[in-house]
Amino acid sequence: MAANKKLLFLPGDGIGPEVMGQVRKVIDWLDNRRHVSFDLDEDLVGGAAIDTHGTSLTDATLDKAMNVDAVLLGAVGGPKWDNVARDIRPEAGLLTLRKDMDLFANLRPANCLPAMAEASSLKEDLVSGLDILIVRESTGGAYFGQPKMIEDIEGGQRAVDTQVYTTAEIERVCRVAFDLAGKRNGKLHSVEKANVMETGVLWRQVATEIGKEFPEIELEHMYADNCAMQLVRAPKQFDVIVTDNLFGDILSDCAAMLTGSLGMLPSATLSGADQSGRRRAMYEPVHGSAPDIAGEDKANPLATILSFAMMLRYSFGDGDNADLIEGAVKNTLARGIRTGDIMQDGMELVSCSQMGQALTEELDKLAV
Ligand code: NAD
């Protein structure tokens, strides 16, 4: 059972503080009803940090993040900061956190709860009960490789991004994915484009090698374009998918939309384990700061609450309370409670804070 674990809250911008406020309700509930307590600190990141400190992430905040058991982040960014210098823009703070905490494995589940199957853009029977986990390499590849630049050339400009991976980078993310596949249905798809990219050739070789350490896992290689197609054709064929930063970004958004709404999607990013088995970790909803509805108490807090449940499971080994929270989300939706983004005919439209309240009521029922 988790107790006095160090947790850093970084609400960020836009709807970030609103959805994080609902997680606080869950934390209070755990404290009161389950005697699970956290040593909770809160700090600024993104635009909020730019406004106060002139940078999207101070060294002091980074230091805190490096020394807690887990970080929960809301969202960063918004039109107010669209024109700040590139190196201090809100997203730069997020990228620095991921890079300096060495959070190389981004876990993005795509679960389709039965109550939400109707909201998917695919046919209900294709997605109902869907349960996929995408493991995306998140500190390497095309988003970080050097050179990365735009230069002037005769007659225009030339832009360069570099896709680069080392054996070690591929090994460590594949190990995380094999490990997780072993805790699920034992099936792993390794996704790249070995047909046209050298990084894909190396990725395939390394995944095959690591697979020998996990003989119980069924490993299948798939090209990224085929994977995109299969995700919308027959998504239930997948259990765990491991892929690079760029393909993972795209494929996880694609898988995400199978489940209905951005407001429902949690994520986790983990570092490698140190000698004591501890991993640094950051948990965050997949959605952004939703400036169009910020400050209106309309946001769906479930992605952030489900991110917190992932934290309990992966950082604090508290699967019981994670199950409880996930069960409460399922029951709240089954009761017909909906925020605007997932509203359906005949359902009850609630605000962000009312959704948080409804969830704690369901927690109360489940905990008796
Ligand atoms: P977004 O995810 O913020 O919003 C896209 C659409 O989904 C909007 O219509 C929004 O209202 C809706 N939406 C998103 N989350 C919702 C929620 N929880 N409940 C209800 N509706 C929700 O993406 P965007 O509009 O492309 O970006 C807005 C800002 O967020 C930009 O500044 C962008 O850079 C930033 N962003 C940050 C992150 C992050 O912090 N990890 C991720 C993506 C975008």
- In the residue annotation, 125 being an active-site residue is answered as no
The radius of gyration computed from the CA coordinates of the chain, to the nearest angstrom, equals 20
Active-site hit among 100, 102, 131, 253: 253
- In the residue annotation, 223 being an active-site residue is answered as no
Quote the percentage of the chain above a pLDDT of 70: 99
Predicted pLDDT at 48: 97
Give the span between the Cα atoms of 227 and 365, in whole angstroms: 40
Question: Left if phi > 0, otherwise alpha if psi is -120 to 50, otherwise beta: which for 4?
Answer: left
| Ligand 1, atom 36, residue with closest C-alpha | 288
pLDDT of 283 higher than 60: yes
- In the residue annotation, 225 being an active-site residue is answered as yes
Give the span between the Cα atoms of 238 and 227, in whole angstroms: 10
Last residue of a domain, one of 258, 276, 298: 258
72 with 144, same domain?
A: no
pLDDT of 95 higher than 90: no
Active-site hit among 82, 225, 320, 364: 225
Per the domain annotation, does 302 fall within a domain? yes
Interacting residues of 172 by C-beta distance below 8 A, sequence separation 6+ = 104, 105, 272
Q: Which atom of ligand 1 is nearest to the CA of 287?
A: 2
Predicted pLDDT at 259: 79
- Of 57-66, 110-119, 122-131, 197-206, the range with the lowest mean pLDDT is 110-119
254 with 282, same domain?
A: no
Mean pLDDT over residues 165-193, rounded?
95
What total of structural domains would you count in the chain? 2
Predicted pLDDT at 116: 84
244 with 338, same domain?
A: no
140 with 240, same domain?
A: yes
Predicted pLDDT at 2: 41
Per the domain annotation, does 111 fall within a domain? no
Q: Tell how far the Cα of 35 is from the centroid of ligand 1, in angstroms.
A: 34
Q: Tell how far the Cα of 212 is from the centroid of ligand 1, in angstroms.
A: 40
Last residue of a domain, one of 258, 282, 310: 258
Residue among 287, 304, 342 to mutate when testing ligand 1 (max atoms within 8 A of CB): 287
Angle among Cα 141, 174, 97 to the nearest 5 degrees reads 50
Neighbours of 292 (CB within 10 A): 11
207 with 279, same domain?
A: no
Domain that holds residue 60: 1-106+262-368
Backbone angles phi, psi at 160, to 5 degrees: -130, 130
135 with 244, same domain?
A: yes
Q: Tell how far the Cα of 290 is from the centroid of ligand 1, in angstroms.
A: 4
251 with 137, same domain?
A: yes
pLDDT tens sequence across 59-75: 999 999 999 999 999 99
CATH number for the domain that contains residue 200: 3.40.718.10
| Ligand 1, atom 4, residue with closest C-alpha | 290
Backbone angles phi, psi at 2, to 5 degrees: -70, 140
Per the domain annotation, does 114 fall within a domain? no
pLDDT tens sequence across 2-34: 447 999 999 999 999 999 999 999 999 999 999
* The 3-state secondary structure of the chain, one letter per residue: CCCCEEEEEEEECCCHHHHHHHHHHHHHHHHHHHCCCEEEEECCCCHHHHHHHCCCCCHHHHHHHHHCCEEEEEECCCHHHCCCCHHHCHHHHHHHHHHHCCCCEEEEEEECCHHHHHHCCCCHHHHCCCEEEEEEECCCHHHCEEEEEEEEECCEEEEEEECCCCHHHHHHHHHHHHHHHHHCCCEEEEEECCCCCHHHHHHHHHHHHHHCCCCCCEEEEEEHHHHHHHHHHCHHHCCEEEECHHHHHHHHHHHHHCCCCHHHCEEEEEEEECCCCCEEEEEEECCCCCCCCCCCCCCCCHHHHHHHHHHHHHCCCCHHHHHHHHHHHHHHHHCCEECHHHCCCCCEECCHHHHHHHHHHHHHHHHC
Per the domain annotation, does 116 fall within a domain? no
Task: Give the chain's mean pLDDT.
Answer: 94
Active-site hit among 239, 249, 318, 341: 249
pLDDT of 1 higher than 70: no
Q: What global pTM score does this model have? A: 0.90
User: Measured over all CA atoms, what is the biggest interatomic distance in the chain, rounded to whole angstroms?
Assistant: 72
Interacting residues of 88 by C-beta distance below 8 A, sequence separation 6+ = 50, 54, 55, 56
- In the residue annotation, 143 being an active-site residue is answered as yes
332 with 360, same domain?
A: yes
Count of residues in the chain: 368
- In the residue annotation, 253 being an active-site residue is answered as yes
Last residue of a domain, one of 192, 227, 258: 258
Nearest to 315 by CA among 31, 107, 64: 107
Predicted pLDDT at 191: 98
Pocket of ligand 1 (CB under 6 A): 15, 75-78, 91, 94, 262-263, 284, 287-293, 299-300, 303, 339, 341
